[in-house]
Structure 1
Amino acid sequence: MYYFEHEAQPEAFQSVFHSLWWAVATLTTVGYGDVYPITAGGRIFTALVLFVGLGIVAIPAGMVATALSRARTIEDDAQKPE
């Protein structure tokens, strides 16, 4: 992010570490809202990172939910009297 945004926003993205902190705050919360990408490269890079982050969370969460649902169904079927 630093390489995309430093020229346009030198006070917000002062170093690679400032950019890393922005990324951590953005990916783990909804961000602060005061710093956001304004260049086309920064916006595209942010979108790609957010989709990857969402995929890392959403796909395993869906798999776990499906497995728990199947386990619950098997458990319920085993407890029904015949």
Structure 2
Amino acid sequence: TYTNETESHVIAKELSLLERHKLEALTAQRKKIYVMSRFDEKSISEISTELSISPRTVENHLFVSRREIREFIKQCI
């Protein structure tokens, strides 16, 4: 079990690095919204209010950025 936990930790760390690498390639607005959602754990309504944009725009940016990051990680695996 210890080996499995160590391996899982290493894989998770590598995936996190890939995510952050692709994050740098996103547009400024998408990057900001993704970071606020993923790392700052803010809701769509909180992001919408803070950035003065519609919740639907936030949803669209999150959808596209998540898809781009997911596709990038799939290509790397």
**TM-score under structure 1 length normalisation:** 0.36
**Larger % of helix: which?**
2
**TM-score under structure 2 length normalisation:** 0.38
Quick one: higher RCO (CA 8 Å, sep 6+), 1 or 2?
Answer: 2
Larger radius of gyration: 1
